[in-house]
């Protein structure tokens, strides 16, 4: 086991999958000569050449659609969005082409493509460059949505996503690229899509968190441990399909649930998890499900306001204490 | 390579213009044509002029006939007629309530699809917009599989899940009907990319209407195709109306082939009422694509005789305008050329029509008798690798 960053783990996954399958290619803005805007694709041009690692013009709708077309003709594209904010321009091709092609062609054209890049909040870049879009993509049948929170998950899930025969939205967290962790050395190490991971076991309250919220939830759990509350922290890792069974089993044990996310609260993934838990585990709940979400405002620039817009350890601690009726 | 701009073969239906901004007078003229209910096409038809055009078109087509085998010519004619009869039947059964949703007919545009696809090999790709029944037929898909799809039957080419706007046949390289205007253009650029990546010499034909040219998808795709030298042939079927909005009301530079200049792409204007002109222009483009991976933009000028869709009363254009173009009917023109050049006689043409009608009737019976999709089909084909939530 080597200790590496999420950035390096993603880089390894890309390198190994490019080496493994000639049909895999990587395209996006600044992925080749510039080594990637966030250096996730560092060295790949050197190793695989310009046929396999391709710099695109700034033309998100165009290259997203080109990727889907290439997948229809037998290739396995990895399309990088410099950030997922720019994927908004490409949503027509992601939603109307990639997600629906298999269905509307009666099963003839599956689309093995990965759309990946950083998403979620970044550091003081204001409203257009700092937002979480997973609930958009998770809405659509036909797409799979993956959000890793550790280097090992990042590597194992990206490799599975590239090998998957369906379109996968793979959202990395812009603030987390430098986070370190242990990653298995086995080049065939993968993590299956659709399986949640229990990041910390506990007995009193379940916290479901993803992406940036996972380390924050773990810190909150540490604080709460000192206050005598045992928290179980679950990272779904895949938003669609959602491993609701693991969450239900945990709630049956703890009878209390807090869901944490950095995205806006309305129509979000937290709302979906809350609804499913009400349907599946209502009789096991000893308190209403508590949501902790990002503020319902566009992301501000000013440092103090930005901090206020994002959930933190204190808000998760307070939510857990609320569902445990401790205050 | 500078764009090639051969002279127009058909009389331009709009004033010839350059990329220069329109003068104030011109702007005013355009303004005045945008009022509700105003016909922006001439209401009177110069019969003499029309006859001269027809004769010229016929002479040009006869020149193109030389050297082509009668079998090939007859096959082109048969395909065009099959599309015409198929679409007439589609309209009939649509009105009878047997087809749901939208239904965009190809009547009037048959020479474009048949001529262009005649220039292809079987393993080449075709992608299209939602006006694609005729293109699917020309690519070799059976009338049965298309009619059954219109009927929402499981025997349809997309198992009843796509309908009129989403016809697919992987075996035959027909990669869909796509229903967001211009959406198929990046996709086609991608299949061309894949051909080059895999070192095959397959080419892609991408069909779209002229209104799609105003979409970003068109410009983004042409830029990448020329930049990366991709074997894609962009076929703009200029039928002059984006639904009910005429070209004059929607596009600043209306000589669409000229837009290829912006990307240093080869381009041609083509008479879309002459199946052989379309075939020849596409063959030139296919050769460029197959040999040198070079894309081409073809602006093929045509006319749809029917409304945008079956629900379109068409009150934005005049009866006279439609009649004028019906005089330039691509099937009438071709049959006249074939008769005058003695490739066929009247009897042979009647026999073709009889067989084509039979084929369409057969497709209708097949569609009527086919089963609807099993209710379980609702949840199939969503994922190629479905993840079973209860597997653990």
pLDDT at B20: 35
Q: Would you say residue A189 lies in a domain?
A: no
Q: Cβ of B152 under 8 Å from any chain A Cβ?
A: no
pLDDT at A15: 98
A3 beta partners: A182
pLDDT, averaged across chain A: 98
Which residues of chain A does B162 touch, with a Cβ-Cβ cutoff of 8 Å?
Answer: 104-106
- Identify the helix (H) or strand (E) that includes residue A62: helix A60-72
The residue ranking higher by pLDDT, B40 or B299, is B299
pTM (2 d.p.): 0.93
Contacts of A293 (CB under 8 A, 6+ apart): A260, A261, A262, A263, A264, A265, A268, A270, A311
* Same-domain check for residues A131 and A250: no
Q: Would you say residue A47 lies in a domain?
A: yes
Residue A140 in this model has a pLDDT that exceeds 60: yes
- In the stretch 11-40 of chain A, residues with CB closer than 8 A to chain B read 25
Return d(Cα B327, Cα B259) in angstroms, integer.
29
Instruction: State the average pLDDT over residues A124-137.
Output: 96
Which residue in B191, B194, B381 is closest to A107 by CB distance? B381
Peptide bond into B74 cis (omega under 30): no
Q: Which domain holds residue A317?
A: 197-323
Residue B200 in this model has a pLDDT that exceeds 50: yes
| Backbone φ and ψ of B364, nearest 5° | -65, -45
Residue B111 in this model has a pLDDT that exceeds 90: yes
Return d(Cα A228, Cα A226) in angstroms, integer.
5
Instruction: State the average pLDDT over residues B320-348.
Output: 93
- Tell me B92's DSSP state: H
Yes or no: say if B196 and B125 are a contact pair by the CB < 8 Å rule: no
What is each CA distance from B221 to A222, B2, B12, B266, in whole angstroms?
Answer: 52, 18, 27, 14
Closest CA to B135 of B202, B86, B73: B86
Burial pattern B3-20, b for ≥16 Cβ within 10 A else e, equals bebeebbbeebeeeeeee
Torsion sign across C-alpha atoms B221, B227, B228, B233: positive
What is each CA distance from A195 to A152, A157, A181, B130, in whole angstroms?
Answer: 14, 10, 20, 39
Which residues of chain A does B157 touch, with a Cβ-Cβ cutoff of 8 Å?
Answer: 106
Instruction: State the average pLDDT over residues B233-238.
Output: 97
Return d(Cα B186, Cα A72) in angstroms, integer.
12
Choose one of A183, A213, A234: the last residue of a domain.
A183
The two three-digit tokens of residue B289, written as one number: 């694509």
DSSP states of B253-312: S--GGGGGGGGT-EEEEEETT-HHHHHHHHHHHHHHHHHH---EEEEEE---SS-SSTT-
A vs B, Cβ pairs < 8 A, gives 162
* Same-domain check for residues A23 and A153: yes
Q: Cβ of A72 under 8 Å from any chain B Cβ?
A: yes
* Same-domain check for residues A112 and A236: no
Binary contact (B194, A68; C-beta < 8 A): no
* Same-domain check for residues A119 and A177: yes
* Same-domain check for residues A19 and A151: yes
Instruction: State the average pLDDT over residues A154-179.
Output: 98
- In the stretch 192-211 of chain B, residues with CB closer than 8 A to chain A read 192-195, 197-198
* Same-domain check for residues A230 and A174: no
Global ipTM: 0.97
Residue B37 in this model has a pLDDT that exceeds 90: no
B45 pLDDT tier (thresholds 50, 70, 90): low
Return d(Cα B168, Cα B176) in angstroms, integer.
5
Closest CA to A224 of A204, A252, A197, A250: A204
Return d(Cα A183, Cα A287) in angstroms, integer.
38
**Domain harbouring A132, CATH code:** 3.40.50.970
* Beta strand A238-240 pairing with A144-146: antiparallel
Q: Would you say residue A221 lies in a domain?
A: yes
Choose one of A148, A183, A218: the last residue of a domain.
A183
Q: Cβ of B384 under 8 Å from any chain A Cβ?
A: yes
CATH class of domain segment(s) B47-368 = alpha beta
Residue of B nearest to A76 (CA): B194
Q: Would you say residue A135 lies in a domain?
A: yes
Which residue among A60, A134, A172, A262 is the active-site one?
A60
Q: Would you say residue A190 lies in a domain?
A: no
pLDDT digits (tens, 9 = 90+) for B53-97: 889 999 999 999 998 999 999 999 999 999 999 999 999 999 999
* Same-domain check for residues A204 and A177: no
Question: How many Cβ atoms are within 10 Å of B359's Cβ, its own excluded?
Answer: 18
Delimit the domains of chain B by residue range. Answer: 47-368
pLDDT digits (tens, 9 = 90+) for A74-96: 999 999 999 999 999 999 999 99
* Same-domain check for residues A12 and A104: yes
pLDDT, averaged across chain B: 88
The residue ranking higher by pLDDT, A4 or B27, is A4
What is each CA distance from A13 to A41, A74, A117, A180, B317, in whole angstroms?
Answer: 10, 21, 14, 16, 58
Q: For chain B, what is the total number of helices (H) and then of strands (E)? A: 12, 8
pLDDT at B388: 73
Which residue in A68, A69, A241 is closest to B387 by CB distance? A241
Return d(Cα A307, Cα A130) in angstroms, integer.
12
* Same-domain check for residues A72 and A40: yes
Return d(Cα B206, Cα B217) in angstroms, integer.
13
Yes or no: say if B278 and B286 are a contact pair by the CB < 8 Å rule: no
* Same-domain check for residues A212 and A273: yes
> What percent of chain B has a predicted confidence (pLDDT) above 90?
77
- Identify the helix (H) or strand (E) that includes residue B206: strand B204-209
Cα of A320 to nearest chain B Cα, Å? 28
**Domain harbouring A247, CATH code:** 3.40.50.920
* Same-domain check for residues A139 and A168: yes
> Which of A13-22, A60-69, A279-288, B41-50 has the least mean pLDDT?
B41-50
Choose one of A122, A150, A183: the last residue of a domain.
A183
DSSP states of A149-169: -SHHHHHHHHHHHHH-SS-EE
Q: Would you say residue A188 lies in a domain?
A: no
pLDDT digits (tens, 9 = 90+) for A11-65: 999 999 999 999 999 999 999 999 999 999 999 999 999 999 999 999 999 999 9
Return d(Cα A33, Cα A4) in angstroms, integer.
23
**Could you confirm whether A129 is annotated as catalytic?**
yes
């Amino acid at each position: 086991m080597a200790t590496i960053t999420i950035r390096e783990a993603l880089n390894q996954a890309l390198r190994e999958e490019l080496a493994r399958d000639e049909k895999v290619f990587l395209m996006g803005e600044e992925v080749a000569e510039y080594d990637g805007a966030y250096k996730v694709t560092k060295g790949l041009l050197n190793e695989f050449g310009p046929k396999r690692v391709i710099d695109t013009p700034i033309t998100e709708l165009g290259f997203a659609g080109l990727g889907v077309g290439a997948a229809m003709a037998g290739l396995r594209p990895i399309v990088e969005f410099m950030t997922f904010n720019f994927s908004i321009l490409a949503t027509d091709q992601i939603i109307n082409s990639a997600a629906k092609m298999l269905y509307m062609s009666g099963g003839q054209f599956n689309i093995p493509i990965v759309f990946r890049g950083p998403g979620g909040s970044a550091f003081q870049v204001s409203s257009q460059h700092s937002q979480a879009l997973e609930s958009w993509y998770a809405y659509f049948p036909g797409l799979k949505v993956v959000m890793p929170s550790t280097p090992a998950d990042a590597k194992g899930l990206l490799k599975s996503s590239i090998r998957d025969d369906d379109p996968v939205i793979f959202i990395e967290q812009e603030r987390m690229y430098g986070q370190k962790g242990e990653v298995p050395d086995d080049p065939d190490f993968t993590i299956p899509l659709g399986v949640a991971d229990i990041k910390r076991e506990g007995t009193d309250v379940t916290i479901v968190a993803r992406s940036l919220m996972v380390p924050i939830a773990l810190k909150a759990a540490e604080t709460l441990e000192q206050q005598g509350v045992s928290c179980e922290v679950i990272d779904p890792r895949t938003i669609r399909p959602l491993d609701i069974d693991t969450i239900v089993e945990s709630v049956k044990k703890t009878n209390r649930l807090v869901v944490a996310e950095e995205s806006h609260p309305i129509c979000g993934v937290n709302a979906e998890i809350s609804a499913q838990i009400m349907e599946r585990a209502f009789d096991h709940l000893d308190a209403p499900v508590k949501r902790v979400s990002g503020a319902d405002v566009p992301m501000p620039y000013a440092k103090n306001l930005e901090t206020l817009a994002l959930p933190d350890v204190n808000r998760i601690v307070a939510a857990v204490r609320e569902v445990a009726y401790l205050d | 390579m500078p764009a090639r701009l051969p002279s127009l073969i058909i009389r331009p239906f709009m004033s010839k213009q350059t990329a220069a901004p329109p003068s104030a007078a011109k702007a005013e003229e355009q303004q005045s044509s945008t009022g509700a209910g105003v016909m922006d096409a001439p209401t009177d038809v110069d019969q003499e002029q029309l006859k001269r055009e027809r004769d010229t078109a016929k002479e040009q087509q006869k020149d193109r006939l030389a050297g082509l085998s009668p079998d090939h010519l007859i096959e082109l004619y048969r395909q065009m007629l099959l599309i015409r009869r198929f679409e007439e039947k589609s309209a009939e059964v649509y009105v009878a309530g047997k087809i749901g949703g939208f239904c965009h007919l190809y009547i009037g545009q048959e020479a474009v699809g048949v001529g262009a696809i005649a220039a292809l090999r079987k393993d080449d790709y075709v992608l299209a917009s939602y006006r694609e029944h005729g293109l699917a037929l020309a690519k070799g898909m059976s009338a049965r599989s298309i009619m059954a799809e219109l009927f929402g039957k499981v025997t349809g080419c997309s198992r009843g899940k796509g309908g009129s706007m989403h016809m697919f046949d992987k075996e035959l390289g027909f990669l869909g009907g796509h229903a967001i205007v211009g959406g198929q253009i990046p996709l086609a650029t991608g299949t061309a990319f894949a051909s080059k990546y895999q070192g095959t010499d397959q080419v892609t034909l991408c069909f779209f209407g002229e209104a799609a040219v105003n979409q970003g998808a068109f410009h983004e795709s042409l830029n990448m195709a020329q930049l990366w030298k991709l074997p894609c042939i962009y076929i703009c079927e200029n039928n002059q109306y984006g639904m009910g909005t005429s070209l004059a009301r929607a596009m600043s530079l209306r000589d669409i082939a000229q837009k290829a200049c912006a990307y240093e792409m080869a381009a041609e204007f083509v008479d879309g009422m002459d199946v052989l002109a379309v075939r020849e222009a596409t063959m030139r483009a296919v050769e460029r694509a197959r040999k040198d991976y070079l894309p081409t933009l073809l602006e093929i000028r045509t006319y749809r005789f029917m409304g945008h869709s079956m629900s379109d009363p068409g009150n934005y254009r005049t009866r006279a305008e439609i009649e004028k173009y019906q005089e330039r009917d691509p099937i009438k023109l071709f049959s006249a050329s074939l008769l005058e050049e003695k490739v066929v006689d009247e009897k042979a043409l009647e026999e073709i029509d009889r067989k084509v009608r039979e084929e369409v009737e057969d497709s209708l019976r097949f569609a009527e008798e086919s089963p609807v999709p099993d209710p379980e089909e609702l949840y199939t084909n969503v994922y190629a690798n479905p993840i079973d939530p209860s597997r653990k």
